[in-house]
Amino acid sequence: MRAPTSLQHHALRRLSLLPGRTNHAVSACVARRTLLTGAAATGSAAATRLTTRMGLGGGAAPPPPSAGGGATTKFSAASSHFSPSSSSPLSSSQSPLQRTAQIANHLQSPAQRRSSSSTHRALSTMASSSAYSVRKIAAANTLEHRVYIEKDGVPVSPFHDIPLYANQEQTILNMIVEIPRWTNGKLEISKEELLNPIKQDVKKGKLRFVRNCFPHKGYLWNYGAFPQTWEDPNSIHPETKAKGDNDPLDVCEIGELVGYPGQVKQVKVLGVMALLDEEETDWKVIVIDVNDPLAPKLNDVEDVERHLPGLLRATNEWFRIYKIPDGKPENQFAFSGECKNKAYALDVIRECGEAWERLITGKTPAGDVSTANVTVSHSPARIAPDQLPPLPAHQEIPPEKIDSSIDKWFFISGASA
């Protein structure tokens, strides 16, 4: 069982000032609340045993809150909220558990109540992301390989059906991992195929792999894309002076865990670089997984340099030189390679979200981009899930072996300049 939190100690201290039997009864109620909160943190079974032992409710313990915040059980230990409003008077018709929660809520400051409510909403949003799963078709490193994303067993488009924002405040975003860190296969969301599965890019009939440019190995980050964004090729950015690259926004996730293709991560935005790739604007948004140990310390681009020194410089270098081994010229950056801050990055994301909105509603011609989706109610390309063509069954097949030449290191003159 967890020890009482500082807030609960504060509540008990304040209640000790109440006189007479009110002091005794209310203090006992809050003490029970303290024990129940600790028990809830260790599991519903422990909470049930504690409730029964203490005689709360005079019988069976109330059911624990469901993972999705079920309709019948309004109380949440995470948020200290239940169905009556925080301003309603104590009622004898309420259960002891409800009265306990309401007392605790009255003792919180408005800021604490808002923080608690935000935490509850964030936890609910994070829990919903676990509903996403992947369906893998054929072996990785083959032309036939596809990774479809499903929600609650229904195939969805990672381009169109996964929300861009993961919370109401729009401070946490969803990203789709396409390429895990330290790997070389150039996987990407297929814009042209129905439901936009992830596949390996192909050039002249051959699978594409990025080369290892010393001292780097594969991709430096979990590389992926923001859903419901689009870099409009019909629009020239006023500062980069180049059109969009006709793709979802690219994302570099710099956390410590290696992801997997099709993973839906919740991330916070830190900054953005503007790569100029073959006369197109190709934004690279720098983010970190909200569950990463460093996430609380990283809130803007300057924090990245403070806590991860050298990473932004290496990121700039990697994007400049990674095509040179394939005979391409060095890439260039807008803004002299500067990584713009969080506020600038959020503006870029908003603009690309608006461009996607025009695409999905048919206001901008889609060209060869498949806009088929199953959730966007105002999209003319929406398809009912039962109208989707059947997909092959999920296949767990070992990846095909790749040519050993992919592991070669290339030494680029002046790469570290």
The verdict on 105 and 149 lying in the same domain is: no
Shared domain check, 162 and 94: no
Are residue 237 and residue 312 in the same domain, yes or no?
yes
Same domain, yes or no: 111 and 187: no
> pLDDT value at position 102?
52
Asked if residue 93 belongs to a domain, the reply is: yes
What is the residue range of 110's domain? 6-125
d(Cα 230, Cα 248) in Å, to the nearest integer? 4
Taking alpha carbons only, the member of 165, 167, 164, 163 closest to residue 151 is 163
Give the H or E element holding residue 175.
strand 173-179
Residue with tokens 């596809």: 146
| Per-residue b or e along 70-108, where b marks 16 or more CB atoms closer than 10 Å to that residue's CB | eeeeebbbbbbbbebeeeeeeeeebebbbbbbbbbbebb
Asked if 152 and 268 sit in the same domain, the reply is yes
3-class DSSP assignment, residue 70: coil
Task: Tell whether 277 and 305 lie within a shared domain.
Answer: yes
Radius of gyration of the chain measured on its C-alpha atoms: 26
Question: Does the residue 74 lie in any domain?
Answer: yes
- The reply to whether 250 falls in a domain is yes
Same-domain pairing of 406 and 362: yes
Q: Which two tokens stand for residue 257?
A: 């865990």
Q: Do the domain assignments include residue 1?
A: no
CA distances to 63, 240, 322, 353 from 349, rounded to whole Å, are 42, 15, 25, 6
Q: Provide the CA 297 distance to its chain's centre, in angstroms.
A: 17
**Residue 131 counted as domain residue:** no
Last residue of a domain, one of 78, 93, 125: 125
Q: In this structure, how many other beta carbons lie within 10 angstroms of the beta carbon of residue 273?
A: 24
In angstroms, the Cα distances linking 62 to 41, 50, 73, 95, 123 are 16, 12, 8, 9, 22
Q: How far apart are CA 46 and CA 184, in angstroms?
A: 47
Tally of domains in the chain: 2
Residue 415 lies in a domain: no
Same domain, 95 and 242: no
In a domain, 220, yes or no: yes
Whether 174 and 165 have beta carbons less than 8 Å apart is answered as yes
Q: Are residues 192 and 296 in the same domain?
A: yes
State whether residue 179 is helix, strand or coil.
strand
Q: Is the pTM of this model over 0.75?
A: no
Any domain includes 331 = yes
Quick one: DSSP state of residue 109?
-
Give counts: helices (H), strands (E), the chain: 8, 16
In tens digits, what is the pLDDT along the chain, a chain of 417 residues? 445 455 444 444 444 444 443 444 444 444 444 444 444 444 444 444 434 333 433 333 333 333 333 333 333 333 333 333 333 333 444 444 444 445 545 555 554 444 444 444 444 445 455 689 999 999 999 999 999 999 999 999 999 999 999 999 999 999 999 999 999 999 999 999 999 999 999 999 999 999 999 999 999 999 999 999 999 999 999 999 999 999 999 999 999 999 999 999 999 999 999 999 989 999 999 999 999 999 999 999 999 999 999 999 999 999 999 999 999 999 999 999 999 999 999 999 999 999 999 999 999 999 999 999 999 999 999 999 999 999 999 999 999 999 999 999 999 986 654
List helix spans (H) across 264-366: 301-307, 311-321, 342-360
**pLDDT value at position 258?**
98
The rounded distance, in Å, linking the Cα atoms of 146 and 135 is 8
Q: Are residues 265 and 202 in the same domain?
A: yes
Last-in-domain residue among 91, 125, 159? 125
- Cα(360)–Cα(185) distance, rounded to whole angstroms? 29
Domain boundary at 125, 160, 180, which?
125
Tell me the CATH number at 367: 3.90.80.10
Residues 101 and 149 in one domain: no
Task: Using alpha carbons, select from 212, 213, 211, 183 the residue that is nearest to residue 198.
Answer: 183
| Distance of alpha carbon 121 from alpha carbon 204, whole angstroms | 48
3-state secondary structure of 68: coil
- Do residues 187 and 120 share a domain? no
